């Protein structure tokens, strides 16, 4: 069906001039893609009408599956089904172990330090997992917008460090995307609210997602969104709430053995459902039975609040720290320090699905003293803000003069003598930024200098994160302290860093584009991009086959369960035998590599079981109406 666009005379935009842009919220639990269409910014649904894409990827020998189908397989195949991969982005094995979580994966360290996970499809990195999610979202966007995307804005937590940001960019490159900008998630939320509702003044953006927490303070002026302070925890989120509930179930069950991956995944999925149920109810039933771990009981909202109380307070403490940081930074401005007290916060924007937890909303309200804003769906507000920005950056609204001033989440500096960290750019400095500082030699006759770039707030290099090292050679031999070496730091709008060094008298120079640990090498990225093109058709075939097999398994299991429950009561033995034969046929076909044949087998089994399904429906209706007279039913209607 073709669409006809109607505009005022002389104001129709040449369709060849309008570019396709999208905003992508690459989330821990769910991901979304949004775009501006017909002047309206909206998230884009899939064929089934679902806007949220579960950030879950399953890797098998037969192919890769992303989203709901993968999530449905998570309980039975936890080692090959990767969830919450965002928490692993830009981290090494020891970093991930330091999160203190039970994770059902087999981790492998690489020479570059980047973690990989063992799957039936081979070893995969978090970057590759994220790329699969991005590919699925982009395919949805291209289909909805009827063409390839010209550019995207991808959001990241404000507290993501350089390694995590670079890992996100690597994932986008593997997915074949033109990234217009990496945008901090709270800034994206501010864009959505600032444009849609016109709020101005000091705003706190409280962003609690599945795996990360960010708190950002923004000054909103006409056309200007300035992040004045940011903080948070890249290892705090709704997943941690789920872990607390899962641990409670284990304790209450009295289970003493080591929890296996299948049990853990089942518990985590159950815990998420319990958490969501307690957002609307005062209590909920808990029934778990998996591999010998048995529990049946009840969890109340009050009990859950006690389980997560310290985590919620952890986020509130981060809010207080950000207010202090904002107040400390105003000495260079003509702004009163009182302008950044919690009483001066006019509005609080809630972002992230975990902000639906009542205990979270109550804590935020009590701390800031204002009722938080949630006019825009907290699951969608980030994607919507990113889409607005993408629409401008791609050139569809060149007349707009929106200015986004993000800030660095952590200080950047250099190692100096004695293993000290000299900060060149302080945290909460607005970006993009370029800043220089002069250094000198330590020894007489020194002709080279090793420049070690670090990130962090600690005074010792050993307590900071190493970002890059490079050498400046050709320094004229002089007495110690005579050489003048100018080191220049440049951070672009995405928060990515490049560093250069120059000796003043000779002009010799060296530079490095910081490629943080746990990112991908250029060769690895090139190989992955080439592989994605070379095997595009094979990947489509493999995906179709895997989805067909999953669908067949689902139908077979559903019918087998129905036969076990009602077969003998509703069917003749001969009818049961015919259905069992049909199941066997589909099972045999599922072992082949013909996706069309499997889909045809699913359809045939569905037709064969139609009469049985109708009998079950009739039996259910009779049971529901048992004991009621016809006139009673007519009166109720």
Residues 359 and 379 in one domain: yes
Other CB atoms within 10 A of residue 551 CB: 17
pTM score, whole prediction:
0.68
CA–CA distance, 92 with 89 (Å, rounded to integer): 9
pLDDT band for 223, please (50, 70, 90 cuts).
low
Q: What is the pLDDT of residue 339?
A: 60
Q: Could you read off the pLDDT of 357-383 as tens digits, one per residue? A: 999 999 999 999 999 987 888 989 999
Distance CA 144, CA 22 (A): 11
Q: Is 400 a catalytic residue?
A: no
Q: What is the pLDDT of residue 144?
A: 92
90 and 175 housed in the same domain:
yes
Q: Is the pLDDT of residue 469 over 50?
A: yes
Mean of all residue pLDDT scores within the chain: 82
Percent of the chain predicted with pLDDT > 70: 83
Integer Cα distance of 203 and 215 in angstroms: 10
Number of residues in the chain? 637
39 and 132 fall within a common domain: yes
Q: What is the CATH number for 290? A: 3.90.640.10
The mean pLDDT of 220-235, rounded to a whole number, is 71
DSSP state letter for 460 = B
383: enclosing H helix or E strand: helix 381-393
From the list 326, 377, 328, the residue with the least C-alpha distance to 349 is: 377
CA dist., res. 140 & res. 42, Å (int)? 13
Q: What range does the domain containing 265 cover?
A: 238-310
The tokens of 113 are what?
């330090």
Q: Is the peptide bond before 480 cis (omega within 30 degrees of 0)?
A: no
Mean pLDDT is lowest, of 73-82, 162-171, 626-635, for 626-635
295, 248 Cβ separation under 8 angstroms: no
Q: Does 558 lie in the same domain as 511?
A: no
- Structurally, the chain folds into a number of domains equal to 4
* pLDDT per position as a tens digit, 35-63: 998 888 999 999 889 999 999 999 988 88
- DSSP H helical ranges for 499-572: 522-534, 536-562, 568-570
- Which tokens go with 287? 């029934």
Contacts 24+ apart (CB under 8 A), 354-359: 354/208, 354/209, 354/210, 354/237, 354/238, 354/241, 355/206, 355/208, 356/276, 356/279, 357/238, 357/241, 357/275, 357/278, 357/279, 357/308, 358/279, 358/301, 359/301, 359/304, 359/305, 359/308, 359/309, 359/312
354 part of a folded domain: yes
Q: Select which of 161, 185, 214, 494 is catalytic.
A: 185
Q: Could you give the CA distance from residue 53 to residue 67 in angstroms, rounded to a whole number? A: 5
Secondary element (H or E) of residue 386: helix 381-393
189 and 91 belong to one structural domain: yes
Structure-block tokens of residue 263: 């049990």
25 included as an active-site residue:
yes
Mean pLDDT to the nearest integer, 147-168 = 87
> What is the structure's pLDDT at 403?
55
Do 60 and 158 have their domain in common? yes
Instruction: Spot the catalytic one: 46, 132, 162, 207.
Output: 207
pLDDT of residue 14: 45
Q: Which range, of 11-15, 68-72, 112-116, 126-130, averages the lowest pLDDT?
A: 11-15
Decide if 546 is inside a domain. yes
pLDDT-based confidence at 454, cuts 50/70/90?
confident
**Distance of alpha carbon 607 from alpha carbon 428, whole angstroms:** 63
Same domain, 305 and 323: no
285 shares a domain with 318: no
Residue 9 has pLDDT above 50, yes or no: no
pLDDT digits (tens, 9 = 90+) for 162-210: 788 888 999 999 999 999 889 888 888 888 876 445 556 788 999 898 8
Does residue 7 form part of some domain?
A: no
The pLDDT tens digits for 243-298 are 999 999 999 999 988 888 889 889 998 999 999 999 999 999 999 999 999 999 99
In a shared domain, residues 82 and 127: yes
Give me the phi and psi of 451, to 5 degrees please.
-105, 120
* Closest by Cα among 190, 230, 192, 191 to 212: 230
Domain-ending residue, one of 404, 434, 458:
404
pLDDT at 194: 66
Range in 94-98, 385-389, 443-447 with the lowest mean pLDDT: 94-98
Strand 21-25 to 497-503 pairing: unpaired
Q: Tell me whether residue 637 is in a domain.
A: no
Average pLDDT, integer, range 444-462: 82
Rounded Cα distance between 342 and 363, Å, is 13
Tell me, yes or no, if 275 is annotated catalytic: no
- The C-alpha atoms of residue 405 and residue 279 are separated, in whole angstroms, by 35
The mean-pLDDT minimum among 52-56, 192-196, 385-389, 586-590 falls in 192-196
Residues 399 and 449 in one domain: no
420 with 563, same domain: the answer is: no
Number of Cβ within a 10 Å radius of residue 283: 14
Residues 326 and 342 both lie in one domain:
yes
**CATH code, domain carrying 333:** 3.30.420.40
CA 492/CA 470 separation, integer angstroms:
20
In a domain, 96, yes or no: yes
The pLDDT of residue 321 is above 90: no
Residue 31 predicted with pLDDT over 70 = yes
Candidate list 75, 86, 275, 515, residue with the active-site label: 86
pLDDT of residue 569: 86
Does 572 map to a domain?
Answer: yes
Residues 6+ apart with CB under 8 A from 252: 295, 297
The two structure tokens encoding residue 459: 């005074």
Helix/strand/coil for 178: coil
Task: Give the residue-averaged pLDDT of 121-129.
Answer: 91
pLDDT at residue 524, rounded to an integer: 59
pLDDT of 16 reads: 46
Asked if the structure places residue 15 within a domain, the reply is: no
Checking if the pLDDT of 141 tops 90, the result is yes
The reply to whether 14 falls in a domain is no
């Amino acid at each position: 069906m073709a669409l006809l666009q109607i505009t005022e005379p002389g104001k129709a935009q040449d369709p060849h001039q309008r570019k396709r842009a999208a905003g992508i919220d690459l989330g821990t639990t769910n991901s979304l893609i949004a775009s501006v269409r017909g002047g309206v910014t909206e998230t884009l649904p899939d064929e089934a009408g679902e806007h949220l894409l579960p950030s879950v990827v399953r890797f098998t020998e037969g192919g890769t599956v992303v989203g709901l189908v993968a999530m449905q397989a998570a309980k039975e195949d936890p080692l090959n089904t990767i969830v919450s991969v965002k928490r692993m982005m830009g981290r090494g094995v020891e970093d991930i172990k330091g999160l203190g979580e039970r994770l059902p994966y087999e981790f492998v360290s690489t020479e570059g330090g980047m973690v990989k996970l063992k799957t039936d499809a081979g070893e995969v990195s978090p970057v590759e997992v994220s790329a699969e999610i991005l590919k699925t979202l982009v395919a949805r966007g291209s289909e909805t917008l009827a063409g390839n995307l010209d550019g995207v804005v991808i959001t990241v937590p404000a507290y993501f460090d350089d390694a995590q940001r670079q890992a996100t960019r690597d994932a986008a490159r593997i997915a074949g995307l033109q990234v217009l900008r990496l945008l901090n998630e709270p800034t994206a939320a501010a864009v959505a609210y600032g444009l849609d509702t016109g709020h101005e003044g000091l705003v706190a953006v409280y962003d609690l997602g599945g795996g990360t927490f960010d708190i950002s303070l923004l000054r909103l002026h006409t056309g200007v969104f300035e992040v004045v302070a940011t903080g948070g925890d890249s290892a705090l989120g709704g997943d941690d709430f789920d872990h607390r509930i899962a641990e409670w179930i284990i304790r209450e069950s009295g289970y003493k053995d080591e929890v296996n991956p299948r049990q853990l995944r089942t518990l985590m999925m159950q815990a998420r459902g319990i958490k969501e149920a307690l957002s609307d109810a005062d209590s909920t039933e808990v029934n778990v039975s998996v591999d010998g771990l048995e529990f049946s009981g009840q969890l109340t909202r009050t009990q859950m609040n006690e389980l997560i109380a310290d985590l919620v307070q952890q986020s509130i403490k981060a809010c207080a720290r950000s207010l202090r940081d904002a107040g400390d930074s105003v000495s260079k401005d003509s702004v009163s320090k009182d302008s950044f007290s919690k009483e001066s916060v006019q509005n609080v924007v809630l972002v992230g699905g975990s902000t639906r937890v009542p205990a979270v909303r109550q804590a935020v309200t009590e701390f800031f003293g204002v009722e938080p804003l949630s006019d825009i769906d907290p699951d969608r507000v980030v994607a919507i803000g990113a889409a607005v920005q993408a629409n401008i950056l791609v050139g569809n609204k060149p007349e707009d003069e929106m200015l986004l001033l993000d800030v660095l989440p952590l200080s950047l500096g250099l190692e100096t003598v004695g293993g000290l960290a000299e900060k060149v750019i302080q945290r909460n400095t607005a970006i993009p930024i370029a800043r220089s500082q002069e250094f000198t030699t330590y020894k007489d006759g020194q002709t080279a200098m090793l420049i070690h770039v670090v990130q962090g707030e600690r005074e010792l290099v050993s307590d900071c994160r190493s970002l890059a090292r490079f050498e400046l050679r050709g320094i004229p031999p002089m007495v110690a302290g005579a050489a003048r070496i100018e080191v220049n730091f440049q951070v672009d709008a995405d928060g990515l860093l490049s560093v250069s060094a120059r000796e003043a008298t000779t002009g010799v120079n060296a530079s490095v584009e910081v490629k943080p640990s746990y990112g991908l090498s250029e060769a690895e990225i090139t190989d992955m991009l080439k592989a994605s093109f070379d095997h595009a058709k094979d990947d489509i075939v493999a995906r179709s086959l895997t989805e067909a097999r999953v669908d067949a398994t689902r139908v077979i299991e559903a019918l087998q369960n129905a036969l076990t429950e009602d077969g003998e009561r509703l069917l003749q033995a001969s009818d049961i035998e015919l259905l069992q034969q049909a199941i066997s046929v589909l099972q045999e076909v599922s072992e082949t590599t013909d996706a069309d044949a499997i889909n045809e087998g699913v359809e045939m089994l569905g037709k064969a079981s139609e009469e049985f399904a109708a009998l079950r429906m009739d039996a259910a209706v009779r049971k529901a109406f048992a004991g009621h007279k016809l006139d009673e039913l007519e009166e109720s209607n």
